Structure 1
Amino acid sequence: MITEDDNWSFSTIPALCARAAEVYGERRAVEDGDLCLSFIELDALRRRMAKAMIAAGVEKGDRVMIWAPNGWRWFVTALGLVSAGAVLVPASTRFKGGEIADLVTRSGTSLLFSVGTFLDRYYPDQLQQETRALLRQVVVLEGPRGGDRDWAEFLAAGDSVSDAELAAREAEVGPDDLCDMLFTSGTTGYPKGVMYAHRQCLRGIDGWASRVGVREHDRVLIIPPFFHAFGYRCGAIVSMMRGAVLIPHLTYDAGEILQRVQDSGITVIPGPPAIFHGMLQHPQRAEFDTRSLRLGVTGGAVVPEVLVRRMREDLGFEGVVSGYGLTECGGFGTMCSYTDPDAVIASTAGKAMPDTEVRIMGADGALLAAGQPGEVVIRGDMVMKGYFEDPAATMETIDKDGWLHTGDIGVFDAQGNLRIEDRLKDMYITGGFNCYPAEIERILSGHPAIGVVSVIGVPDERLGEVGRAFVILRPGKTASEEEIIAWARDNMANFKCPRAVEIRTSLPMSAQGKVQKTLLREEIAARKMAEA
């Protein structure tokens, strides 16, 4: 297992790659379809890609974008570009041409790596001519068309660069240099580039891996997309750091995931609760052999106690952990430990990560004691370097004392474990009472027929706003909207009870596996307009 010691410390991602090849050698590092790579082979490919970047004219600090789903080429490209001193800009495969154009412009991206044909479309066809004009070239991972460059040919072009040239470039890459820039919209409606450096990235991953209990020889199925901090850092890089096998997964389908668990002996699955809800909801779940599962790592949304219990009892996970973080602090913040009791894992997001302060702040800026709810604020090495070319937004998010304001409502218990109540922006007010959807969802998840639930506030003439719950029932279970509302009235304060329940067979999900509440709100607004 790679950790800091007297002879080696975390500095840069290329240094980690070389160290992994040295420590783990011929052991398997990546399995992707029919392709398998050892740690030595992965490092060799990483070095070739870094040379290819140099051959293509990529300079230290250049921004390079990857617009593709999970796969070994994605990971090799990312490792190679950061080894050449460039800054990774991951792009969602759900983005369309206009969104990519905005991202390229905002980031100053000079080189784009794109998937070819995916989800029945050739992705580069979506690029606007104005976007292509800003790019040195477009490199397609597989199946290029027209003037787009083939990934394998791009890689081979780097063979003309000497080992000495590569070593000189790698020597220029320092621990505090940027390694990636993940764009997040936050509450402002336009994307902002979160700047993150090599050493803080690696130390955050190391602390996270130790807390949750990722081990050597684990077989990690990466379902969260690499373009997200969770998939890239807490899936791909952590596997390389800990000597685990990285197994990328392309698209989310519960049946496919259960099949891969059975066929590939998966031991660890990181992902949001929706992934595990989907596995549990699958009508043939009991027919799959899931005995290899050891660790389920979740967070980023409501994690009800019933989900933790069912992950253990019905899916066979030996351990389940949850945590809390956001892009502005590398995806890190607080995390449960694999040694924590079930009650802590089910009801909290755990304790602050190493070298990180997490506190609760009141509206007046005062830090609050345990048991008092307020805004979660974070300070320490894990906090971003700032938003790219946006000092005003940076100052709005990180105050003069260095506290990163998350916009989340939380409370600490007496043992120092954080419980997230909700997003400030998701809170709604019913008749003067604050209602937190996350709390209501947590309670509703205890209903024996409810598999998945999402709650939003909708306008109401008398009360201002009231709750509306969108529910997916468990397979084989039945319940009416009226029964669910009656159950809610028996189990929570009246002002928290949803005034309406809609039973659905599916809900709009983001690429990260979270319910897209914005789309639900837009749907309700459209209905109101149609009725007017």
Structure 2
Amino acid sequence: MQNWIVHKVLSEAVVKYPNKPFLICSEQSVSFKELDELSDILATALLKEGFEKGDCLAVLALNQVEWLYTYFAASKIGVCVVALNVRYRESELVYMLNNSKAKGIVSISEYQGFKFSSLLERIKGKIPTVEKIIFLEQGILGSLSFNDLLSLPLDREGLESVKQTVQEDDLVLIIYTSGTTGKPKGTLITNRSILESAKAQVDHLSIQEDDRTIGCLPLNHVGGITCTVHCSLISCGSIVLIPEFIPEKVLEVIDELKPTVFGGVPTMYIMLLSHTGINKYNLNSLKICIVGGSNVDPGLCLAIESQLPEAKIINLYGLSESSGACILSRLSDSMAKVLESIGVPIGDFKVKIVDDKRKELPNGEVGELAIMGRCAAKGYLGLEKETNNVFSEDGWLYTGDIAYLNHEGYVVYKGRKKEMYIQGGYNVYPVEVENILMEHSKVALAAGVGVPDAFLGEIGRYYIMPKAGQTITEEEVILYCNKHLADYKVPRQVVFVKQFPQTPAGKIQKTVLKQQYLAQESKNESPFLQFSDDNMPKKQQLE
């Protein structure tokens, strides 16, 4: 690929397939040419409203065409999009808008009864850099209308002049990390880094122009914007945009529109496969099912294989800091390989495993996973120390994840570095125990954390969500784990829950679970509350 600038890749797609549908959303279809023309008009409007290269424009919306009109318009004039999630509320939005010094925000007015129009009106005084508020629907006094901006005349000469100034290393996105520890960090993603990741994924999975990808992963996350949108852009494929993940809607889309690629986090697959009406839908169009976001347990892989026999299951490892995917299974991998590892580095990216002093370790030894490649983001916004710690001067991105390389060069994921706990002198990686727990026929989801213990230093505390209609006891869990795990890995505490705290990207927030436990312990209160759902055992549960 010659061009590593987002708006130029869009222009190339327009030349190849001007009238081909790129975005399909409900009854609406937008071709490459239409997207290019509409984003040109919006880019012109943004320039007229005072936006300049280097400014930031926040987007607070669902997976809808307006999100992408804004993104591509901003990319043409060197304005960086601050990708926000509709589940964020006041404290998060105020922090991110101020941290990014956003000059404006494009927003929906309401989501599930929550009025963003009222919120933005209320917090105006707290977000001093935000000069322009643009609503997709009815707004507030003094705000701009998105549709009005799209009706303005195009200044082609002025726009072309600005487009020529955009460089590969210019920012296109700020994506805030999940915030599982402390304040969220704004990850700085460039034209080059996002396209490098997407191009490597396209080549690795042989994604073609006739592929149609489901776009239900949020666009404020690399799973949505890189692994879905940019992969489809580079391959000149199509995206079926789904505003938000609703299992029945996704199943209907697969049945009606025959997409070939689906990507989701494990929670999404569990919800799809457990949907009561799944058997009435024809899902055979799916050729590739990508599972990312957290470790994929063997039971889930086998369930996907059973329900979607035509699809090849692919593990995907990526993070905001790598602008998208950097490790994937191979299309030729057997199920045994998919179950064993998360795959191999894609494109010309490299991986290594290092010890605590960042000395490279030989194959088979467990340590921190490091990635090298031009997919690496530019760093964290305003955080020099954190940037230098994660993004080294010699080009390595230190992920904070624990893994090892097997004899074939495949990456075997063991969990987050900070999730590991030491019980009685033994290192325990919760993901290994979680995999075993989720193979139990009565367990839907499981998450483990290490908590303090006066005798052993730390012990494993595991939160379990039973499958609907199932009853499981702590005794059953312990007995099952004793059969499959070394004794020091067996959970010492078992807590049953009806739901988990999740990040906007759908990952279980283990730090929240641990913080809740520590807060309850510090108050000398019991960490259990009575829970009475019929599908839960009659014992004290965490609410």
TM normalised by structure 1 equals 0.93
Cα pair 1:333 1:358 within 8 Å, conserved: no
- 1:394 to 2:387 alignment: yes
In structure 2, the CA distance between the partners of 1:226 and 1:293, relative to structure 1 (3 Å rule), is same
Name the SS of the counterpart of 1:321 in structure 2.
strand
My pick for the range that moved more, 502-511 or 478-487, is: 502-511
Task: Give 1:301 shift.
Answer: 0.9
113, 123, 126: which one pairs with 1:120? 113
In structure 2, the CA distance between the partners of 1:270 and 1:185, relative to structure 1 (3 Å rule), is closer
In structure 2, the CA distance between the partners of 1:84 and 1:284, relative to structure 1 (3 Å rule), is same
- 1:139 to 2:134 alignment: yes
The AA in structure 2 aligned to 1:512 is A
Aligned to 1:176: 169
- 1:468 to 2:461 alignment: yes
The AA in structure 2 aligned to 1:72 is V
| Cα deviation digits, residues 316-350 of structure 1 (max 9, x gap) | 45111012122112123211122222222222111
| Cα deviation digits, residues 213-253 of structure 1 (max 9, x gap) | 43322222122110011111111222222222212222333
Aligned to 1:67: 60
In structure 2, the CA distance between the partners of 1:253 and 1:461, relative to structure 1 (3 Å rule), is farther
Equivalent-residue separation in structure 2 for 1:72 and 1:96 (angstroms): 23
Name the SS of the counterpart of 1:405 in structure 2.
strand
Aligned to 1:308: 301
| Cα deviation digits, residues 254-313 of structure 1 (max 9, x gap) | 233223322332322111111111112223322332222221111221111221121121
| Cα deviation digits, residues 463-487 of structure 1 (max 9, x gap) | 2222222223345555332112101
Equivalent-residue separation in structure 2 for 1:57 and 1:467 (angstroms): 54
In structure 2, the CA distance between the partners of 1:51 and 1:36, relative to structure 1 (3 Å rule), is same
- 1:192 to 2:202 alignment: no
The 5 A counterparts of 1:14-163 are 14-127=7-120, 128-157=123-152, 159=153, 161-163=154-156
Task: Give 1:511 shift.
Answer: 2.0
The AA in structure 2 aligned to 1:65 is A
Cα pair 1:281 1:475 within 8 Å, conserved: no
Cα pair 1:117 1:143 within 8 Å, conserved: no
397, 400, 406: which one pairs with 2:399? 406
Task: Give 1:429 shift.
Answer: 1.7
Equivalent-residue separation in structure 2 for 1:517 and 1:203 (angstroms): 31
In structure 2, the CA distance between the partners of 1:286 and 1:477, relative to structure 1 (3 Å rule), is farther
| Cα deviation digits, residues 76-103 of structure 1 (max 9, x gap) | 1101011111111111222212222221
Name the SS of the counterpart of 1:133 in structure 2.
coil
Equivalent-residue separation in structure 2 for 1:505 and 1:385 (angstroms): 39
Q: Which runs of no fewer than 5 residues in structure 2 stay unpaired?
A: 527-543
TM normalised by structure 2 equals 0.91
Cα pair 1:138 1:149 within 8 Å, conserved: yes
201, 204, 217: which one pairs with 1:208? 201
Percent identical among aligned pairs is 27
Aligned to 2:374: 381
| Cα deviation digits, residues 109-153 of structure 1 (max 9, x gap) | 101111111111221322312245321210011222332211101
How many residues get paired? 523
RMSD (CA atoms): 2.0
Name the SS of the counterpart of 2:394 in structure 1.
coil
Name the SS of the counterpart of 1:332 in structure 2.
strand
408, 412, 419: which one pairs with 1:419? 412
Name the SS of the counterpart of 2:128 in structure 1.
helix
- 1:446 to 2:439 alignment: yes
In structure 2, the CA distance between the partners of 1:94 and 1:261, relative to structure 1 (3 Å rule), is same
Cα pair 2:25 2:65 within 8 Å, conserved: yes
Equivalent-residue separation in structure 2 for 1:113 and 1:150 (angstroms): 9
Equivalent-residue separation in structure 1 for 2:326 and 2:83 (angstroms): 21
Equivalent-residue separation in structure 2 for 1:509 and 1:388 (angstroms): 24
My pick for the range that moved more, 431-440 or 238-247, is: 238-247
- 1:241 to 2:243 alignment: no
Q: Which runs of no fewer than 5 residues in structure 1 stay unpaired?
A: none
Equivalent-residue separation in structure 2 for 1:213 and 1:317 (angstroms): 16
